[in-house]
Amino acid sequence: MKTITAAGFVVLLFHALPCLAVQFEATGHAAFDWREYYQSAQFDQRSVSQANHQLSLFAEPEFIWSLNNAEHTFIFKAFVRLDSADDERSHQDIRALYWLTYGDNWEVQIGIAKKYWGVAESQHLVDIINQTDLVESPGGEHKLGQPMVAYTLIHDWGTLESFILPWFRERTFSGTDGRLRTGLAIDTDRAQYQHDREYRHVDYALRWSHSIGLVDAGLSWFRGTSREPLLVPQVTDIATEQFSSISLVPFYPLIEQTGLDLQATLGATLLKLEVIRRYFDAPLHQDYVAATGGFEYTFYSPLKTSWDVGALGEYLYDSREDPSLAIGQNDLFLGTRIAFNNEASTDVLAGVTQDLNDAGSRVLVVEISTRLSANIKLNFDAWVFAARDSENIIYQLHRDDFVQTRISYYF
């Protein structure tokens, strides 16, 4: 309710300044999702039965107040989802609630917002400001709003962004009744932190980026609480269960991370590279390097069509050898992106991430979207998880193949 009050306050504030030109706009979308899983779940127990169908509704309204020809902007963007099967997936978030102003070579943004860094398609290593809203999609592209003070300087030598991140957001995970979960349930209510100040630990980040001819480059640095938790097995409430019950507790360590992202745009070919080095604070000794690099080539109007057909290839590397920690340790991503350029803006994206260490482990995804009318959009997504080696992180999902149909109304 705090946000409503804040939004109300801004309305009052702006409307109390009749001498200034205020522009207001309400926009956003609401959608219905239907997910169907094609295999029986692997973690059903006496007291837990994982869903085979998931229906859900969500809305993401956005309110924009802009003052004096956008010299000052105030944005409030809410998100709420109601899920038929998984209480953890029924959730709400403030995606944005910030004030932004700027001058010729600077910009200030204060409040809750989202920042994206990086160039790769198969995974997003460099991107670290926002926490992943993992219950939204297994691809991890949805993010929670992050409180921040961001100051940007724009000069001939590039753009320098500096961030103070005063409040940490915990990652969302599927609940026990949901799908796309680990065998041992993740108990998000008992999250632990390396630092005593827990979610109140203040994190810092810096990023320099620049476009030099055909190359767009970025260098970034982050110091603070890792967005990615370590999952620590813990015994819970032995007394109340017949069998000792073990769950996984998210543990958020302190890290320092440096990142590099590069893209060269050479005609129809894009070459991309992302590299990170992550350092952990003592006593954790888990420092690692990870990288993603590859290309995207687009055939424009092939075979006398008006389509754009893209071919993508990326190699994923992670220096950690334990396959239970990350997906992209020695993996190859191959994909295609087709834009039909029709009135309905029909797009198809299909890709496979193949584990090169374990021939049986791969993730396939197909995403199709098209417009049914000026305001209504239809999305169809299919995910397939294959794994033979039970040590592989994908094995946890190997019976969670699903198709999702989404109908969205945009306003």
Partner 1 sequence: MKINTKIPSVLLMLVLAASASAELDFTGQSAQEYGLAIATEFKARNQGWHNSESTLTMTLRNANGEENIRKIRIKTLEVEGDGDKSLTIFDQPRDIKGAAFLTFSHVSGSDDQWLYLPALARVKRISSRNKSGPFMASQFAYEDLSSFEIEKYTYRYLGMETIDERDCYKVELVLLDELSGYTRQVIWIDKEHFRAYKIDYYDRKESLMKTLTFSEYELYLKQYWRAIQANMVNHQTQKSTLLHTDKIAFRTGLIESDFNKTSLKRAH
Residues lying near partner 1 in the complex (CB under 8 A): 25, 27, 29, 64, 66, 70, 73, 100, 102, 104-105, 107, 114-116, 119, 141, 152, 154, 159, 209, 211, 216, 263, 265, 267-270, 298, 300-301, 306, 308, 339, 341-343, 345, 347, 371, 374-375, 377, 408, 410-411
Phi-psi region of 126 (alpha: psi -120 to 50; beta: other; left: phi over 0): alpha
Q: Which helix (H) or strand (E) holds 76?
A: strand 72-83
- The nearest distance, CB 325 to partner 1, in angstroms, is 25
| SS3 state of residue 166 | coil
- The nearest distance, CB 27 to partner 1, in angstroms, is 6
Q: Which is nearer to partner 1, 119 or 316 (CB)?
A: 119
Q: Which is nearer to partner 1, 56 or 408 (CB)?
A: 408
Q: Which helix (H) or strand (E) holds 236?
A: strand 230-236
Other C-beta atoms within 10 Å of 231: how many? Answer: 18
Q: Which is nearer to partner 1, 41 or 219 (CB)?
A: 219
Q: Which is nearer to partner 1, 39 or 305 (CB)?
A: 305
- The nearest distance, CB 170 to partner 1, in angstroms, is 20
- The nearest distance, CB 79 to partner 1, in angstroms, is 12
Count of CA atoms in the C-beta half-sphere (13 A) of 252 = 24
- The nearest distance, CB 268 to partner 1, in angstroms, is 5
Q: Which helix (H) or strand (E) holds 11?
A: helix 2-15
Other C-beta atoms within 10 Å of 397: how many? Answer: 22
- The nearest distance, CB 168 to partner 1, in angstroms, is 19
- Distance of alpha carbon 352 from alpha carbon 333, whole angstroms: 6
Residue matched to tokens 């109140």: 200
- Distance of alpha carbon 346 from alpha carbon 371, whole angstroms: 7
Q: Which is nearer to partner 1, 347 or 401 (CB)?
A: 347
Q: Which is nearer to partner 1, 293 or 360 (CB)?
A: 293
- The nearest distance, CB 315 to partner 1, in angstroms, is 20
Radius of gyration of the CA atoms of the chain, in A: 22
Q: 403 - beta bridge partners? A: 36, 382
- Distance of alpha carbon 99 from alpha carbon 110, whole angstroms: 5
Q: Report CA-CA distances (Å) from 106 to 22, 98, 99, 316.
A: 22, 17, 14, 35
Closest CA to 392 of 365, 364, 354: 354
- Distance of alpha carbon 170 from alpha carbon 189, whole angstroms: 10
Q: Which is nearer to partner 1, 298 or 330 (CB)?
A: 298
Residue at 176: amino acid letter: T
- The nearest distance, CB 267 to partner 1, in angstroms, is 5
- The nearest distance, CB 8 to partner 1, in angstroms, is 21
Q: 54 - beta bridge partners? A: 35
Closest CA to 289 of 318, 262, 261: 318
Q: Which is nearer to partner 1, 258 or 265 (CB)?
A: 265
Q: Which is nearer to partner 1, 339 or 384 (CB)?
A: 339
